[in-house]
Amino acid sequence: MKAKQFSDYVSDVKNGGSANAVAHDIYDALTEDERIALLQGSVPFWRGIDAMMGPDVGYNAQPFVMGAVERIGFPGIRFIDGPRGCAVGTATAFPVSMARGATWDTNLEERVGEAIGEEVRANSGNFFGGVCVNLPRNPAWGRAQETYSEEPVILGNMGSAFAKGIQKNAMACVKHYALNSMENARFSVDVTCSDKDLHKHYLPHFRKIIKSGVASVMSCYNSVNGEWGGQNRKMLTEILRDIWGFEGFVITDFVWGMRDPAKALEAGLDIEAPFAQQRKDGMLERIANGETSWEAVKRAGIRIIRTVLKHYAKLGEVPSKEVIASPEHAKLAFDAAVQSMTLLKNDSIDGVRLLPVSRDFSGTILVVGRLADLANTGDNGSSKVDAPYVVTPYEGIKRSFPAANVVLADVDSDEFDSQVRAADLVIAVVGYTALEEGEFVDGTVMQRDDLLKLYPKPVTEEEKRIAEAFAKSGAEGQSVVGGATAGGDRVSLALPEGDTDLIRRVVDLNEKVVVSVVTAGAVIMTDWIDSVPAVMLAWYSGQEGGNALGAVLSGERAPGGRLPYVMPKKQEHTAPLDINATAITYDDKFGSRLLDEIGEEPLFPLGWGLTYTTFSLSDFELVSASETTGKVRVTIGNDGYRLAHGVVQIYGSVSGGVRELLGFTSVLLAPGESVTTTIDIDLWPLCEWNEQSAEFDPLPTGVVLEAAQYRGAPDALALSVEIPERN
């Protein structure tokens, strides 16, 4: 008699059955081997590594399958990476997460999540591992592009919106839990952090996304307060499940994310990703000798089965393959790129703002810089997306100015200086690529003694061949993702030297210069910004980035971005960072808080961004407040002559203390239009964390709320409020 199939169990849930009860039924029907199989990747380690590293297959060439049980048709998880798009096959490349963070628009982010979720599911995935919300304590972090901001409220709100969109089609996974914001040292570093700073700065965004219903959590490589992230009971059970009430499952970061299989299981780690590696052999022995138990196996198994059941029970029809890299998704990528463009500076020349330049402009536009005609969508590691096309800055500018003479100049040509002098406008495209920042898994790391212990012993001749090739690639310094040793954390926050030299050269020859900066984290601009009339932060802006840049420069669209972090004047004004440290302490001295502490003004504050109109705020009032959340109401008006997005930012402080971001919204307004909007705010940033009660203390007296267009704006609307006391 054929075993009852997973699809039948899904029908049971759809017909009103309890997902938890049905999950127990499924678990009870499994053999011991199948129960162990739930807790690991479904592909043998050496075969998986060969495919992941090989030039003919590559990282995430197809979904990573974990926890599947073929006999009953249980799909397990079919993992596809992100976060700027679907990492399997050809897919829409959206702007990186930090660029989308600059939109301050949760509605847009949910739409991006829904589009990516559709492409994941159409590519046979059921799980998206791309909700990255690590807080970049220092902007030099190599993977800053994968997260949204250095502010917990932005991270939590944007990450929740993204996960909500994703989960219409795929289970979403929030990562890397937690304190994971050093790339080069991530396999070695122990991060020390007090409970107060954990819960006030480095965990609130995870909590927000957990509370919003995310399916899964990925643990971190690094150690937290003396214990590896993949076997840290305090993080995985005491905080995640006991305090926050998380009911989903936890997976490891790939290959090196679990140091001790039994200890990890006991701590609350459910799935070893992405291959059958350490749990494949020896789990029965570890159960027999008391290192772990069948009760722990069952706890993990039920969490996995229940979560997958709930997901499949709510799904609609599978999206058509036609959604993958569709015109509709390309348009959404364009809109997101436009809204992320952050205009930092726009001075007047002869009484007229340099930007926008009329689309009908018929003069000569000189486009310069090593990145001007480069398809540059971001890191080449696990977040890489193979787009069907990428519009470069030069191509987008050329399309946006059909009447102009748009010239791509070669800085090394003999005619370069004369071309710059003769141009009516110079656009210098500078910044970074995957060579300067990004994911870093140097091959030599693969052969470290402590990590070698994590690989199963090769048995067959084929496995031995793969293991030898693996060792050889390590000796050569090849990366296991991306195929090169490029990337990692930035040593300097300044632009590459050649870019700085280029800016100085062109501004000496022509006063009408726009600098477009491709970056994720903050850039030190102090040495050159005073000599440049216009600066656009263009980010890694996805496949439509060039078109978006052209549309904004030409005034077809208005730039919508606001800085999701503070831009310091000097690198010394950032949190201390040794990118190769084996031990480091994380505290509250980073970003805007650090500048407040040391008494330094930023180059540009959190939330700063210009556009082609002006906005005003009025009628600010508190609507409601509870212990840690509330609502405010404010009117925003477009006082200028162009359609544009206005961003309302709500800040709060207690008795003149640190000004904390509490909430925000982005509103599209026509010229002369005004809208009264209600904004959800978090009040916990103004509270103290109570270690004994494991919750925030009640708000103190002396709370002042501000409605502003950037942090510290002199025209902010202030409101003194008394929050009701906790019963």
- What pLDDT was estimated at residue 1? 75
**Inter-residue long-range contacts of 653-657, CB under 8 Å, 24+ positions, other chains counted:** 653/686, 653/703, 653/704, 653/706, 654/686, 654/699, 654/700, 654/702, 654/703, 654/704, 655/700, 655/701, 655/702, 656/702
Mean pLDDT of 375-402: 97
- What pLDDT was estimated at residue 674? 98
**Is pLDDT above 60 for 314?**
yes
Mean pLDDT of the chain: 96
Q: Which residue, 275, 293, 315, sits at the end of a domain?
A: 315
Question: How far, CA to CA in Å, does 208 sit from each of 145, 457, 625?
Answer: 21, 41, 18
Same domain, 299 and 414: no
C-beta separation of 577 from 489 below 8 A: yes
* Tokens 């409101």, located at residue: 719
Burial of 413 (0-12, 13-18, 19+ CB in 10 A): exposed
- What pLDDT was estimated at residue 486? 67
Same domain, 279 and 334: no
- Beta pairing partners, 71: none
- What pLDDT was estimated at residue 2? 86
The 10s digit of each residue's pLDDT in 86-136 is 999 999 999 999 999 999 999 999 999 999 999 999 999 999 999 999 999
DSSP state of 704: E
Same domain, 556 and 640: no
Q: How far apart are CA 316 and CA 423, in angstroms?
A: 56
Question: How far, CA to CA in Å, does 209 sit from each of 129, 486, 655, 660, 715?
Answer: 14, 32, 30, 20, 33
Same domain, 546 and 645: no
C-beta separation of 260 from 229 below 8 A: no
Cβ partners under 8 Å of residue 587, min gap 6: 193, 194, 197
- What pLDDT was estimated at residue 724? 61
Same domain, 124 and 239: yes
Q: Which residue, 276, 294, 315, sits at the end of a domain?
A: 315
Same domain, 293 and 226: yes
C-beta separation of 391 from 546 below 8 A: yes
- 620 against 448, higher pLDDT: 620
C-beta separation of 608 from 625 below 8 A: no
Mean pLDDT of 554-566: 99
Same domain, 230 and 358: no
Q: How confident is residue 725, by pLDDT bands cut at 50, 70 and 90?
A: low
Supply the CATH number for residue 194's domain: 3.20.20.300
**Is pLDDT above 80 for 636?**
yes
**Is pLDDT above 70 for 525?**
yes
Mean pLDDT of 485-512: 94
DSSP state of 69: B
The 10s digit of each residue's pLDDT in 151-173 is 999 999 999 999 999 999 999 99
Same domain, 379 and 527: yes
Q: CA gyration radius for the chain?
A: 26
Q: How confident is residue 477, by pLDDT bands cut at 50, 70 and 90?
A: low
Q: Which residue, 526, 548, 563, sits at the end of a domain?
A: 563
In a domain, 479, yes or no: no
Number of domains in the chain: 3
Same domain, 532 and 653: no
Same domain, 347 and 295: no
Same domain, 294 and 389: no
Same domain, 409 and 537: yes
Nearest to 39 by CA among 221, 274, 272, 266: 272
Task: For residue 157, report the phi and psi dihedrals to the nearest 5 degrees.
Answer: -70, -45
**Is pLDDT above 90 for 52?**
no
Which residue range forms the structural domain that includes residue 105? Answer: 6-315
Mean pLDDT of 604-611: 99
Q: What angle do CA 476, 478, 480 make, to 5 degrees?
A: 140
DSSP state of 626: -
Q: How far apart are CA 246 and CA 301, in angstroms?
A: 15
> To the nearest 10°, the Cα dihedral for 90, 95, 98, 104?
-130
Supply the CATH number for residue 516's domain: 3.40.50.1700
- Beta pairing partners, 224: 191, 227
pTM of the predicted protein model? 0.97
The 10s digit of each residue's pLDDT in 201-238 is 999 999 999 999 999 999 999 999 999 999 999 999 99
